[in-house]
């Protein structure tokens, strides 16, 4: 049985307490009051209630830590070295459409380094958690990324640009990514919750995941999970500033290079088309 540290217990407790209310609201999804905060980017009362609960629990346990929140923005703490990074409802669109695929994501950053992460899937009661140097787990089971070495046997996940996310150039780039990668792999999935996509890479359910235009709270916990499960995480070009760029590629070690090269080829095609349009 995996022994959770005090910090993981705090994070898991906060996620599960918020999840109870989310699951209750999910059962009454048609009755939720919904406001618009941008094109195709919804925020519900359930979202804000979950964030409030998570913040209360984390602050009670570690009152000096700062916070970076999807809805509440950044809140500096008395401890300048540590902050929580929280997405109280990753997969809001799924939630509001009655699709049972959403999660609560909490990460801990210390001195600019991600040191712990929790992704909780309330509907399935799956708690993905990891701590730097201690491994990644699903509930009490140790996780490892997949061992597949061939692209044509690999299942990848991604995120698709939509209304309000990215411009025409971003959409074109993504279409080129898909056109380049699809013929090389066993399949591509789009489930709509980046934190769970990363957790699934850590669990070996997906062999890899790529997406751009993400926020720190979308990926912080998942980065810890994949790394601690033995996987590789980078930007598309191999860089390591995913939290700033919002661009992430997470895979097992065997296919990371090949997928990086495919993405590079796709972006070259996009650049060539853009230069041709400019020339006209």
Please tell me the number of Cα atoms within 13 Å of 125 on its side-chain side: 2
Instruction: Tell me what pLDDT residue 33 has.
Output: 53
Q: What is the pTM of this model?
A: 0.91
Q: Which residue has the higher pLDDT, 278 or 229?
A: 229
For 72, phi then psi, to 5°, come to: -95, 0
- Residue found by looking up tokens 């698709």 in the block: 160
Which CATH class, in words, describes the domain spanning 6-142? alpha beta
pLDDT tens per residue across span 123-155:
999 999 999 999 999 999 999 999 999 999 999
CA gap 174, 211 in Å, rounded: 9
Residue boundaries of the structural domains of the chain: 6-142, 151-279
pLDDT tens per residue across span 89-102:
999 889 888 889 99
pLDDT tens per residue across span 164-196:
566 677 788 889 999 999 999 999 999 999 999
Instruction: Tell me what pLDDT residue 98 has.
Output: 83
**pLDDT band, residue 269 (cuts 50/70/90):** confident
CATH, range 151-279: 3.40.190.80
Average pLDDT, the chain: 90
Backbone dihedral region for residue 98 (phi beyond 0: left; psi -120 to 50: alpha; all else: beta): left
* Domains 6-142 and 151-279 fall in the same CATH topology: no
According to DSSP H, which parts of 3-71 are helical?
Answer: 6-26, 45-61
């Amino acid at each position: 049985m995996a022994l959770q540290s005090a910090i993981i217990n705090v994070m898991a407790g906060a996620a599960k307490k918020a999840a109870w209310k989310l699951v209750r609201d999910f059962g009454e999804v048609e009755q939720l009051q919904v406001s618009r905060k941008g094109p195709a980017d919804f925020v519900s009362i359930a979202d804000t209630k979950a964030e409030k609960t998570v913040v209360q629990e984390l602050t009670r346990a570690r009152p000096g830590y700062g916070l970076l929140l999807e809805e509440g923005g950044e809140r500096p703490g008395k401890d300048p070295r540590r902050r929580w990074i929280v997405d109280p409802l990753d997969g809001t669109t799924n939630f509001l459409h009655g699709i049972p695929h959403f999660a609560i994501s909490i990460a801990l950053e210390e001195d600019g380094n991600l040191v712990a992460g929790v992704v909780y899937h309330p509907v399935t009661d799956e708690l993905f958690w990891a701590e730097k140097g201690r491994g990644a787990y699903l509930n009490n089971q140790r996780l490892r990324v997949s061992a597949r070495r061939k692209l044509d046997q690999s299942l990848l996940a991604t995120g698709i640009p939509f209304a309000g996310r990215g411009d025409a150039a971003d959409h074109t780039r993504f279409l080129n990514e898909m056109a380049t990668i699809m013929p090389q792999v066993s399949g591509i999935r789009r489930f709509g919750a980046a934190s769970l996509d990363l957790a699934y890479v850590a669990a070996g359910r997906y062999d890899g995941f790529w997406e751009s235009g993400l926020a720190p709270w979308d990926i912080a916990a998942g980065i810890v999970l994949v790394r601690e499960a033995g996987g590789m995480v980078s930007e598309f070009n191999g860089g390591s500033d995913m939290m700033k760029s919002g661009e992430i590629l997470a895979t097992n070690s065997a296919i990371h290079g090949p997928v990086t090269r495919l993405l590079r080829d796709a972006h070259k095609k996009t650049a060539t088309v853009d230069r041709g349009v400019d020339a006209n």
